[in-house]
Structure formats: C-alpha cells, structure tokens
Structure 1
Amino acid sequence: MKKLLALSILAACSAPAFADVNYALNISQPEHHLGDVNVEFPKTAQSYLDVKLPAWRTGRYEILNLANGVRYFKASDDEGNALKWEKIDHSTWRVHLNEPTEVNIDYQVYANELGKRARHIDDSHAFIDASGFFMFSESFRQEPVTVELNVPKAWRSVSGMENYKNKHSFKASDYNVLVDSPIETGVNELRTFEVDGREYELVVWGEGNYDIELMLTDLKKLVATGNVIWDSYPYERYVFMVHATSGAGGATEHLNSTIIQRPRDRFAKREDYLAFISTAAHEFIHTWNVKAYRPKGLAPYDYTNINYSKLLWIAEGSTSYFEDHLLVRSGIQTTDEFFKNFSKTINRHLTTPGREVQSASETSFDKWINQGGDHARNYGTNIYLEGSLLSMALDIDLLENSQGKISYRDVHKALYKQHKLPAGFTEQDVLAILKQLSGRDYSAWWQANVSSPASLDFDELLAKVGLSFELPEKAKATPSLDAFTKNTGELLTLTHVHRDGAAWQGGLTTDDKLVAINKKHVGKNLIASLETFKAGDKVTVDFIRRDALMSTELVLSEDFDKPKKVVANKNATAEQKALFKAWMGVAHPNNVKKDD
C-alpha cells in the first residue's frame, strides 16, 4: 500500500501543471486601429517556447498572413526579465528559456481589416477574432484561457464565451474555443431572447436601414428549425453579430456565434432582407455542419497551414442548400421566393463553363488557391454552387427511391450522430451512411457526380417534385457575344469571356475595350448595339487592346432576354406533389388554396 501511495505521489508531482493561459487586450488608441496584447503562458521547463499567430481563420479557407500586423514583440520571464527570442517563420516567434519559468509575451496589433472578419478596431468598436489578435503555443493549446479587455467606458462587449470577472472579460475551455468565439465590443444595439430553453443574443454595430424587430421575429422562427434536420442542438447559448457597414460584406460561422456583415443600406428592401436572413440561416446551419462535424483534414484545425479536404462541397455547399429549406419551413420565405433564388443558382451553374472541367471534389481541394476571376469561371467552379446542386440531386434521388421516407437531411443527421468532433468524416463514411439509409451503393453516383464534373439534368430532377425549369412566356431570343462587360468611361470593357462562346471564338479576351460593331459605336449599352442583329449573324468587332485599335470577326450566338426559371408544374401528379411536400416540408403550390 505504501509503495502504491508513493507511486501515486510521484506521478502527481511529475504531471504537467494545469494552468490558464491569460490574454489581455488594451485598446487605448482605437482611432488608429491599434491594440496592445499581453499573453501569460504557464510555467514551462522547455528549452524554448514557440508562440504563433494563426495564418488563417476558421470559416475562410485562405491563407491571410495575419502576422503582418504584429509589431513591438517582447518576451519576459516571471520576474520581468527580458528573454531572448527570434522569428523562425512567417507567424512563429521562438522564445529561448534558460530555466523553468512563466513566459509573458507583449506586442502591438494593427487591426484595420474589417472585411476579412479577423481583426478591426476603430473609434466606435472592435471586432476581435482570436486568430487575428491572440498568439498561442501548441504546448498549451488545450489549457483553459481567459481574456480581459480594457476598452472605452461607453463600450459593450459581447461573445459566445462565458463572462469571467466582469462584462469585458471572458473564459473558454481552451484556445480552440477561444479562436472560434469572436468578441464584438463597442457602441452597439443588443437584444436577447429565448427559444426552447436556449438563450440567444442579437448585437448590431453600425447604423443602417435595418429593422431590428423584424430581425428578432425571424431569428426566433429560424432557430426553432434545427430539429428539421438534427436530433439535438450543440449549444445552450448563441450570439448573432451583425455589422451594418460601408465597403464590407460577408459572414463567418463560429462555434457559438456568427458574424454577418452587410452594407448599411442593404437591409430594407425585401430582396436585401432575404439575403440577410438567408445568410443568418447559412451560418446557423454551420453550427452543426462544420462546427459539430466536419471533414477529415479540417479536424483538428491546423491554424498555421493549409487544411486540405475534398469534401468542402458538403461543408459549404450542403449548408447553402439547406438555407432555403429552413426558411421555407419556418414561413420566413415563400415558395415563390425560393423558386426565384433556386432559379438563379441553376442559371449561374449553367453559365459557368468550369462546371465541365472541375469536379466538386477538385474544387473543394483547390479552394485555398482559387482566386476567382475570368480563368476560374472558365475552368473551375466553387464549393457553394456545385455543393448546393449536388445536395439537391442527392436529396431528390433519396426521396424518390424511398417514397419520401429518406432524405439528404437524414444523411446529415447521421453525420452529426456518428461523426461528431474531434474526428473528421471521410468520403467512405458518407458512402457508408448512404448505404445504411437507402440499402443502395452510391459509389457509382459519387464517381459520376463528385469525383467527376457533374452533368445534372434539371428538367428530369425537377419533374420528380412537380416543378419545371422553363423560359418565361414573353422571353425573346437575342443575339449574344457570350461575354460580360462593365462601363469604363465611354467604352465597355470585357470582364468575362465565356469559354468557346462567340467572343472567345472571335479571339476577344478579358480587358478588351469594345469600340464598334460593324462600324457602329457600341457606347455603354451592348444590348442596344446588338438589337439590330440576330443569332448566327457574322459581325466585325473593333476593340482596343494594349492601347491599340484592333478588329476581329465573329458569329453571334443565341441567348434570351429573360433567363429560365423554376415554376410549379400545373399538371403535377399526386405522387409528384407528395414528393415535393416530403422535399420542402410545405404543400406543392398547386395544392395551396388562394385563401392560404
């Protein structure tokens, strides 16, 4: 017994100490976008301690070089003595230690990148994503953390993390939670509400034409829809952060919150408001899909390197797909509004030549290096667009072959149940779930649609749920260059030339400036300049390239003045209507009475 007790004492003495990593941010010069950071790391006996600032932030699959805002780096021991340090790569500082000691790190951060949603400070607020502010050490990544803010008196601080000592301090179980729990502090509006026993907060920074009461009404409806897909909620408290801004837009999901940015005057119109609430739905869905379960390669996060995955089309595209489902089921969005949005998605896919070149698997893997632009559109696609349409195709296939009993929602319910973090799921895991649910092997479907560029028959797919994809009755055929343009002074400049289209075949390319067609000045309206022609006509196009006047001949292609749209099939069968109900959770439009 004495021997066992001695061994126990020895084991306890040799175990690493359990201690907090403490962060402090002092914002004394907000008008200059500056913040001073102090980090206290627990005592360590290592010969050196590597401290790092993430090179990217979660939710944005792009290396952001966040360390470029750090200056005045200093390191000291627990008695305040300076420690020797050196920078060993783009975002790692190595602090050398001569004896066991606590390590204190001080540095200044320049935070003026609002649109990247990583760090921003001005005289009215600060948005604090830990990836842009707070360094970490792999040695202490799993230790509890605290954050204390020193901010102007009039500011209010809000985060998905728990408060610590006061309203401007927070605590988290480890750095992984901290880096996924942003803080909004400043002059803002705050509303709180409760739905099904869970607490929610809506904090809005910036003035704009938003209706905060309408936001609250619809967010209450939205957060009640989680059980449409999953069996439980992964949180007890959730924060919606909204920036009404100038020149910044976008959104990012987080573990217990989301940040949504929109131009301050883009809330009031119905179309703008739907864009906002759709974004809120997207980020809300991410609370499960990505934050509770995510593909292997993204779990655990590597904050300083690229995190590769061939399944980002599920992480992002499937999330986009489910947006409309929750909005329609909750009554926030009408079926007509859904059809309009769905039509845009399909038409965007059909006018992206890259869909014939790059698969969903490939575009997922290449997301980190996909810079967009003309070449990307012609030879690539994106995880949101392809992932959304593949999710739709898979959903309808599952529903049709199960008479409406099994859907793509069940796949995500199973992912949440069987593959919760910390482990990530693989392609084989998804295929196994599909077989468990349907009894069918989806390997061939996967090879044809995910591993290879998908070729989706929208007429066939939509017909199964009582819909059609067709031209509006008054749509007219028009001649086309198969190119997009923008006004640049007195001339139109080509911004995208559709691969193998009319302009492409004629040798035109991006940045060419159109001067004349058949010696008639193009001006600022390409449609008007083409209205005297018809598809199949051969024309001469004069243009400027490298400041020189040039000329080419091309044959105009056919387009229509109005795009195809998704509509309810007036002749839909009872079976098709039933499948629509199983798909969207509401009655087929032809089954809805006028009074409804």
Structure 2
Amino acid sequence: MKPSTLALVVCCAFISNAAIADVEYHIDLTEPEHHLAQVSVTFPSTSKNSLVINLPVWRTGRYEVLPVADGVRLFEATDRKGNSLDWQRTASGEWQINLPKPTEVTINYQVYANQLGDRLRHIDRSHAFLDASGIFMYSPEFRDENVTVNMSVPKRWQSYSGMKRGNKKHSFIAENYDVLVDSPIETGISQHFTFEADNRDYEVVFWGEGNYDTQQIVTDLEKISYQAKAIWDGYPFERYVYMIHATSGARGATEHLNSTVIQLPRFNFRERKDYLRFISTASHEFIHTWNVKAYRPQGLVPYDYQAENMSELLWVAEGSTSYFQNQLLLRAGVISAKEFFEDLSKRINNNLHKPGREIQSIKEASLGQWSSTRGDYSLNHSVNIYAEGYMTSLALDFSLLDETRLAHSYRDVHNKLYQDFKVPRGYSVQDIKDILFELSGKDYQPWWQANVTSALSIDFEALLAKAGLTIGYSNPSATKVDAGLTVSTAGDHLTVTHVVRNGVAWQAGVNAGDIIVAVNGLRVSASDWLKRLADFKPGNTIKVSLFNNDKLVTREITLAEQPKGELKILPLSQVSNQQKSFLKAWIGIDWPFDNNGHYLKAKQ
C-alpha cells in the first residue's frame, strides 16, 4: 500500500470514528406499572484512567437542589467487551469509573420515576414523562458530543419531544447534552394536534383525561404565537411543543428550549378562572423560550448541573416573564382588558399586604432563591422573584416609557438582550444598565439602587396615573375588621398560618402555629371563625384563647380596620390624550373605558 493510500485510510478511519462517537442512550419502558425504567448509556472511548459520570442535582426552571439521584439503583459499568469496571460514588450525583485502559464505557442503572409534580420524571401504565435531568446521566468529558436516545415502549404509545427525531420510531437526537436536558420527552397514550403560525410549526400534546377543550386551547395557543413580535425580532426555534398534563392533583409548569410542560388537575380547565390560570401559564412558558432559554443572566451560562447557579438577576428571568405573560394574552384577544386589570389589581393588593416588601430587595431575593422558603417568615421578611419581580418590571417599564416619551419600553430592553446576549453569552447588571442608557440617554444607576438593590416601594396611584388609572374600591366606605392574621380552616383545628408583622395580632403576641380554640371565652371552630369576627367592629378588643406550644394562653387583640371590597384598578375621572397614549404604548390596546368608567365591550 502506498504511503498516500495509507494516510487516506487512516484519515477516513479517524473521520468515521469521530462521526460515530456519539453518546448513546437507551431506556426500556416496557414494564411501566411500577414506575421503573432501565437506562443504558454508552460513552465514546477515552484515554483517561477514570471517567466521571453525573446526574444533575437540580433541573432547569426550578432553582432548587433536589434529591434526584435517590431514584437510582443497580448502577453498573462495563467496558467495550462487557467486562465489569470498578466504580465509586463520589458525590450525591456523581460516580467515578476506574479505567485500566482506554475503552468505551457503558453504564446501566434503574430509575424510579414517580415525581410528576416535580416535572422531573414520571412513568405509569399510560405514559412516561422524561426530563433528562432526572433520567439520563452524562459525563462532563462528553457533554458537548452528539446524543442519541432510543426508547423501548409499550404498543400504542406515541413519543414527542422538542428534539429532532432519529431513524427509529421512538428515537431522538440532539446536538449535545445541554439540548437533551432541555428537551423533555412525552411518550404514551395522548392526543396530538398541530398548527402553523408565522412560519413556525407547533405541536400540542394532551396526556390525561380532563374537562379541557382541546379546540379552544389550540386556537388560543395559536393566537398567542403571533404576539411574540410585540417584544422580539425573530424566533429562537423552528418548531415548538406544548405538553399538557391533566393530573390527579399535580400542578405547575416548566419551560424548555423549544417546548414546555404544563400541569393542572384534570377538572381545573373549564371554569373561566381556571382557564385563565392555565392560559396565562402557557403564555408565561412561551415567553421563557426567549427570556431564559435564548438569553439569560451570567451565572446561568453555562448551566452547572451539579451546583447552585447564582444570579442577582433571577427577577428578570422570572418576574419579567410573569410581567409580559398577560400582555401577550391581551394583545392576542385571549383575555379582555377587564381580566387583565383584575389580575394586575390582585397583584398590587398582594404586594401592599406583604410586609416583606419593606425588608428584602429583589436583588437579595434573586440571590437567595436557591434557599428560599415559604410561610410566616417569608411573608413578613421576604419578597418573591416572580411577584415582586413583576412589580419591579412594571416600575422599570413605566420609567422607560416616561423617560423616552413613549419611544421605548421594557419590551425593547428584552429585544436587545435577545439580539446581543444569546446563549452561550450571558448578560450582567451593567449590560442592562447600558441598554437602558442607550434607549433613554439616562443613567439608571440611581434608579437601580432605589428599586433593585434596595427594597422596592411603589406609589401605585402616582405610577398608574401616567396611564390614566388609579386604584380604589367600588364601595370605599365599606369596611370590615382585621385581626392581623390568617388561619387554616382545614381539618378540626383553627391553626394560625401567618401573623402580619407589626399588625394587631403580632403586637398581641400571637404566633404562626398557634391553635385558636375560643373567642371571649366561647369555643370557636374552623367553620365559624370569620362569622365570629364579623360580630365585632374595628377598635373592639377580643380575648383569643389558644394553644401555644401545647400551653393554653389568652391574647388580647384590638381589631383593626380594612376595606371590605376588593381592590380595583379604575380610570381617573379626567383622562388626557397623553395618558391614553401612555396606556396604549404600555399594553398595546386603545383606551378600554367609556365616559362612565365602564369597560367597553370587546370587539368580536
């Protein structure tokens, strides 16, 4: 053989080996009734003396370390010839395999998958939902290699994912592990629909029986799809998959690279308030395809699957997404102006009744998200990257609209982030400030210090007045008593769940966890607590008998006063054309009220 021919053969052999050096996954789901699956992963040959294998300790979209590896058993490793390899467990989500010589490595393990509500992994007789972070192990050495996933599934099952399909019926391929981990698979008995919008293909997959209307959902999702251009110039995907689960109680949603999973109890779709919750969630997850998946803060790029990913800008990732979700629905005509403002008024009311807004900044909340908790302490001393992130986005949007005389809005900030900071580039606080300066000509450092680094305090009346609106009550003179606490009426006990910091119950010494048994010496039950309170007037002092750490004590609460009706957003009595223009620049619709302050009927 000539030297040139030998070189060509060696070169071709090298190319051939490189071409097939994929990470190959196989999952056996043929016996799903006990929530178990068998997983096999083959990694290309390595010359190192050990191979580190990981299973993520958290999943994208949920900023919380989870006991993911607790569902793994029967781990084993073999070389190319099937010989066993020694291994050690070196961390909660890490295995180290010893390699006496260069070889391919195949690992096999069992996975228990019954975490539907975590949107991590779930297998039963009717389907399997597979988020790779809870199913498929990876090696950091081969994280960037091509990925193939083959599945063995029961007959009649159909499989869907945001990934490209492989050369087998239940097979998918991805460019690397990061695409795999952000492209969950739904396989099982389901309903499947498709539509096209703005030259993009969409799929909608329904699993589980429920009282949902598939046609309404598909129609509304199509309407939403056309509204992305209100914020961004361009799309980060060619195809998008909605996975909708009608469950026996699990609820929530998670965004992914070009897909989402949305869960709602099976009979929580039909009532308008329930449907609004669902379709708002769908809009939220769709927005995440840009905000978080296409661009995200430094600290989240690249993802570190084995540790916390810290960022002081999680409020932009989550709170701003919440802020935009109903705006897209409003622009699409999926919700009315009345429904939009009802949602905003509830958010404002919740903010005004959260003492934690005076304590914690949204920056601190972002940095603390990985260790955040719920409950009494959280209410009184914390804010939320979703709820207060929404309010920070609202304040920033109004500031930018005002400073630029309606030429630019917060939407333009997100379009710039999308254009200039696509993953794998991450954006910083300074990058956002630079964008704000570019759009407005104003230094936003003082604003940032006052509203992001410090606890946010919004004068909602002054803020909304820019758009011709105010807050108030339909019957301002109607009031009711306020005991400064909330209770759980579940079960036989009347248990205090929250005590408002510096409120009347707080000052009286009532604590969360106390069990109330009597008011003014007469027994009170969970079912008649509110009726008993209604017998008193603001300023009255009541003696509340309760168990505190199993000890019977009495606390005297002097009842306060609060408005009886719900907070509402109302039009000002006198509204200028400039204020009407502000509202349209803000949410994209014409002035929605008649001369009497009533909502105009939506155009059909």
TM-score, length of structure 1 as denominator length: 0.96
CA RMSD of aligned residues (A): 1.9
CA–CA distance in structure 2, aligned partners of residues 471 and 590 of structure 1 = 17
Residue of structure 2 equivalent to 1:326: 328
CA–CA distance in structure 2, aligned partners of residues 595 and 384 of structure 1 = 29
* Partner SS, residue 383 of structure 1: coil
CA–CA distance in structure 2, aligned partners of residues 208 and 404 of structure 1 = 44
Contact (CA 8 Å) 1:568, 1:589: kept in 2 or not? no
Residue of structure 2 equivalent to 1:231: 233
Residue of structure 1 equivalent to 2:528: 525
1:132-143 equivalences under 5 Å are 132-143=134-145
Instruction: Answer yes or no: is 1:499 the counterpart of 2:501.
Output: yes
Contact (CA 8 Å) 1:127, 1:185: kept in 2 or not? yes
Contact (CA 8 Å) 1:497, 1:503: kept in 2 or not? yes
Contact (CA 8 Å) 1:67, 1:90: kept in 2 or not? yes
What is the deviation of 1:339?
Answer: 0.8
Residue of structure 2 equivalent to 1:586: 589
Residue of structure 2 equivalent to 1:353: 355
1:273-312 equivalences under 5 Å are 273-312=275-314
Residue of structure 1 equivalent to 2:256: 254
CA–CA distance in structure 2, aligned partners of residues 16 and 424 of structure 1 = 34
Contact (CA 8 Å) 1:491, 1:522: kept in 2 or not? no
Residue of structure 1 equivalent to 2:541: 538
One-letter amino acid matched to 2:572: N
What is the deviation of 1:475?
Answer: 5.8
Residue of structure 2 equivalent to 1:571: 574
Instruction: Answer yes or no: is 1:557 the counterpart of 2:590.
Output: no
CA–CA distance in structure 2, aligned partners of residues 28 and 67 of structure 1 = 22
Residue of structure 1 equivalent to 2:550: 547
Residue of structure 2 equivalent to 1:104: 106
CA–CA distance in structure 1, aligned partners of residues 487 and 529 of structure 2 = 8
1:69-84 equivalences under 5 Å are 69-84=71-86
CA distance 1:216–1:475, shift in 2 (3 Å): farther
Residue of structure 2 equivalent to 1:429: 431
* Partner SS, residue 525 of structure 1: helix
CA–CA distance in structure 2, aligned partners of residues 522 and 346 of structure 1 = 32
CA–CA distance in structure 2, aligned partners of residues 562 and 526 of structure 1 = 19
One-letter amino acid matched to 1:549: L
User: What percent identity do the matched residue pairs reach?
Assistant: 51
Residue of structure 1 equivalent to 2:183: 181
* Partner SS, residue 115 of structure 1: coil
One-letter amino acid matched to 1:392: L
Output one character per residue of 1:68-95: Cα deviation in whole Å (capped at 9) or x when no partner.
Answer: 1000001000011111111111111100
Output one character per residue of 1:296-347: Cα deviation in whole Å (capped at 9) or x when no partner.
Answer: 0000000010000000000000000001110100100100000111111111
CA–CA distance in structure 1, aligned partners of residues 246 and 285 of structure 2 = 17
The aligned length equals: 591
CA–CA distance in structure 1, aligned partners of residues 334 and 46 of structure 2 = 54
* Partner SS, residue 106 of structure 2: strand
Residue of structure 2 equivalent to 1:205: 207
CA–CA distance in structure 2, aligned partners of residues 281 and 26 of structure 1 = 34
CA distance 1:277–1:460, shift in 2 (3 Å): same
Residue of structure 2 equivalent to 1:148: 150
* Partner SS, residue 240 of structure 1: strand
Residue of structure 2 equivalent to 1:88: 90
What is the deviation of 1:531?
Answer: 2.0
CA distance 1:490–1:38, shift in 2 (3 Å): closer
* Partner SS, residue 117 of structure 2: helix
One-letter amino acid matched to 1:550: V
CA–CA distance in structure 1, aligned partners of residues 502 and 521 of structure 2 = 25
TM-score, length of structure 2 as denominator length: 0.95
Instruction: Answer yes or no: is 1:240 the counterpart of 2:242.
Output: yes
Output one character per residue of 1:279-308: Cα deviation in whole Å (capped at 9) or x when no partner.
Answer: 000000000000000000000000010000
Output one character per residue of 1:216-241: Cα deviation in whole Å (capped at 9) or x when no partner.
Answer: 11001001111000000000000000
Residue of structure 2 equivalent to 1:49: 51
Unmatched segments (≥5 aa) in structure 2: none
CA distance 1:16–1:470, shift in 2 (3 Å): farther
CA–CA distance in structure 2, aligned partners of residues 421 and 164 of structure 1 = 25
Say which of 321, 337, 340 aligns to 1:338.
340
Higher deviation after alignment, 282-291 or 555-564? 555-564
